Amino acid sequence: MNDTSATEPEPAEAAEPELSPFSLEELGLSAEEIAEIEGMNDAQVGAAGASAASAEPAMTPFSFEELGLSPEEVAALEGIGDVGGTEPETVATPAPEPAE
């Protein structure tokens, strides 16, 4: 009763068939049928692109004032992006205490 084939599972790759790509010609379609299918795909892609563009609302720029910010808040935000204007504030960090 030393049958090892019953206790060893088969590799997963043996259980799954190997898949290979196929062409429409291999499915038995004629050149005219293939051209018709490709034309339908192109028409669907073009229609989907056109409807997506028209369904999207036009975007308009807005100002900080329209968002309800005060002039002081706007000035503070505009100063954040200035690189050469002023030096950034440095925060002092305490030096680590020496271990005893």
Give the pLDDT of the chain (100 residues) as one tens digit per residue.
555 555 665 555 567 888 888 888 888 889 999 899 888 877 766 666 666 666 777 888 888 888 889 999 988 888 886 655 555 555 566 667 777 6
Euclidean distance between the first and final Cα of the chain, in Å? Answer: 70
pLDDT (0 to 100) of residue 32: 92
pTM score over 0.75: no
CA dihedral 39, 43, 45, 51 (to 10 degrees): 180
pLDDT (0 to 100) of residue 10: 58
Q: List, in order, residues 6 or more apart from 37 with CB less than 8 Å away.
A: 24, 29
